[in-house]
Structure 1
Amino acid sequence: MLDSVDPRIKFRHLQSFVEVARQKSVSKAAAILHVSQPAVTKTIRELEDILGVALLERDGRGVRTSSHGDVFLRHAGATLTALRQAITSVSQETMHHGPPVRIGALPTVSVQIMPQAMALFLAEKTGSPTKVVTGENAVLLEQLRVGDLDLVVGRLAAPDKMTGLVFEHLYSEHVVFAVRAGHPLLAGGADIFAGLRTCPVLMPTRQSVIRPIVDQYLIANGVPTLPTQIETVSDAFGRAFLRISDAVWIISEGVVAGDIADGVLAALPLDTVDTQGPVGLTMRADSLPTLPLTLLIQAIRATASAGRTAFERHRTVRT
């Protein structure tokens, strides 16, 4: 049993391995690290020799982590994150600022939760530099895993994507089929599923967490394929395109809840309860939140709780 870290393992070993694992490419990692490709390759081989296992394996034109590499990545990423936090804490203490807070949010959360949560957080006056990014679930979770993000707020990922991560449930939401006000499929007696074959349909991308749920729902309702399909994660594009077309936008309800409440968009009268899924907070299992991150998490919890209460009250009145 080892009681200390092998002194041959250096910071450059961890940094090079984590970057290659994140980029899935030695050449891309070398460019980001501003070193030569042979230097990165040599560093990875040194690390593998020290550990006595292969950490990477070929994957087409790129590389991927081996089973041993997956295990080592979780701890190496956490180590680099802890070191960054230690350095940042010292520098921020000198500058009288709080440590940075880096959040990844799915589009539904970016619209419905983060604005109010951020307002509550800023009122705490932590002085922490704050970053909020949005994107596909798989991309955000990978950034969380390697330490580029501190928290991801969105739908619960598939079990195989949650290794080394923990999830806290905030609320559940389902998918809606959104259209512009006055859309032909809103007319009484319209065959909505047949109409999907004649309208452009905006779909979540194949990497998005809700795509398998949407595919299963469509197949179950007799729509295995869509003639005109556009994949997108852009809510700005979705809103703009619906305004000028008869497109149908299949999206999490939180993204368009405000538009529907304002009467700009409408939800097609479909029973989509089977698409419901949990939304919440995802963090690394081996990380401890800083005080500013804890305050932001509390703000997110409060906003989510208040928002769901108001949304359910509005839904009850509407129905």
Structure 2
Amino acid sequence: MDNLKIKFRHLQTFVEVARQKSVVQASKVLNVSQPAVTKTIREMEEALGVTVFEREGRGLRLTRSGEVFLRHAGTTLASLKRGMDAVSTTRFGDTMPLRIGALPTVASNIMPLAMTLFLAENAGGQVKIVTGENAVLMEQLRLGDLDLVVGRLAAPEKMAGLSFEHLYSEQVVFAVRTGHPLLEAKQSLFETLGHFPILMPTRGSIIRPVVEQFLITHGITDLPVQIETVSDTFGRAFVQTSDAICIISHGVVAADIAHGLLATLPIDTAETKGPVGLTLKAEAGVPAPLDILMQTIRQAARDIAGAAGKRD
């Protein structure tokens, strides 16, 4: 049996002959000659190593092997048609907007490159990207207001009915302006953090418990001046113009660090590392435009991780 020799025309011809129970009628529907239909069926039988039709009066009927193969051939053709329709719809832009939820770290670090790659695919359609706290985005996903969330893995009890695909891991950092006094400090950094304003993730953010646990582990239970914010725009601007310290996911400030606008305090935060990836409804189908966008998000994550590895 040589399955590689079976082509689309074999399946199409086989299914039509089975439907019409006649080579003559199938040739009319397919708009090909009767000898061409007969030859195609013979080629397929040779590739399969079985006979799929037998004579019945003036027509044809399926053999037992033919009946088995018809189920699979029909499914294959139907699946192929759906795929072709999906891609055709994608190319012509006749689709609902893709609604993507992204954590600020992803929105600033991954999505710009992902969207550049997506637009290069000429997939058409519209994309709506919203940012917010992980819990809010997950709730919008459950309600059907979002098609995909790109962010941190939620707690197990929050993942019922959802699926997660890991892209990369990320940790928090203590970001400061270049020239910040603590960059040259000789004493323990943990003893002096409280002398400066601290920008903290809000209590509803997914990394807040991680940050609190990290601080407690290192003996920090009180920070006199705290500013809670999920606005990376405010946080980055405020830190660049003050002596404040921003505890934030690395991806949010990665570009500023690379451009020399910000720096990170020499604090080992490896224990705050957590998975970032794609979260979907577990049973939801993935339309072609969303599939293409997910591919470009994966590619962007790989490219950025590779570039970061080279810098390190």
The TM-score, its normalising length taken from structure 1, stands at 0.68
Unmatched tracts of structure 1, length 5 or more: 1-88
Which AA in structure 2 matches 1:223?
I
- When residues 188 and 124 of structure 1 are mapped into structure 2, their CA distance, relative to the original with a 3 A threshold, is same
Q: Deviations over 1:210-261 (max 9, x none)?
A: 1111000000001012111111111100111112211000001111111111
The answer on whether the counterparts of 2:152 and 2:274 sit within 8 Å (CA) in structure 1 is yes
Aligned to 2:153: 156
Q: CA–CA distance in 2 between the matches of 1:230 and 1:286?
A: 40
**Within-5 A mapping of 1:203-214:** 203-214=200-211
Q: Deviations over 1:168-223 (max 9, x none)?
A: 00000111000000001101414311221111100011111111110000000010
Aligned to 1:279: 276
Aligned to 2:254: 257
SS of equivalent to 2:304? helix
**How far 1:126 moved relative to its partner?**
2.4
Structure 1 position 268 matched with structure 2 position 265:
yes
The equivalent position to 2:109 in structure 1, one of 89, 107, 112, is 112
Aligned to 2:7: none
Q: CA–CA distance in 2 between the matches of 1:161 and 1:230?
A: 27
Q: CA–CA distance in 2 between the matches of 1:148 and 1:139?
A: 11
Q: Deviations over 1:68-119 (max 9, x none)?
A: xxxxxxxxxxxxxxxxxxxxx9xx89x8523321100001100110001011
The equivalent position to 1:101 in structure 2, one of 98, 101, 106, is 98
Q: CA–CA distance in 2 between the matches of 1:188 and 1:211?
A: 26
Aligned to 2:175: 178
Q: CA–CA distance in 1 between the matches of 2:299 and 2:250?
A: 19
Aligned to 1:191: 188
Q: CA–CA distance in 2 between the matches of 1:280 and 1:96?
A: 27
Q: How many corresponding residue pairs? A: 224
The TM-score, its normalising length taken from structure 2, stands at 0.70
Which AA in structure 2 matches 1:197?
G
SS of equivalent to 1:208? coil
Q: CA–CA distance in 2 between the matches of 1:306 and 1:155?
A: 19
Identity %: 60
Structure 1 position 168 matched with structure 2 position 165:
yes
SS of equivalent to 1:299? helix
What root-mean-square deviation, in Å, do the aligned CA atoms of Structure 1 and Structure 2 show?
Answer: 1.5
Aligned to 1:224: 221
Q: CA–CA distance in 1 between the matches of 2:143 and 2:171?
A: 30
Which AA in structure 2 matches 1:127?
G
Unmatched tracts of structure 2, length 5 or more: 1-85
SS of equivalent to 1:128? coil
Structure 1 position 234 matched with structure 2 position 231:
yes
**How far 1:152 moved relative to its partner?**
0.3
Aligned to 1:139: 136
SS of equivalent to 1:176? strand
- When residues 96 and 204 of structure 1 are mapped into structure 2, their CA distance, relative to the original with a 3 A threshold, is closer
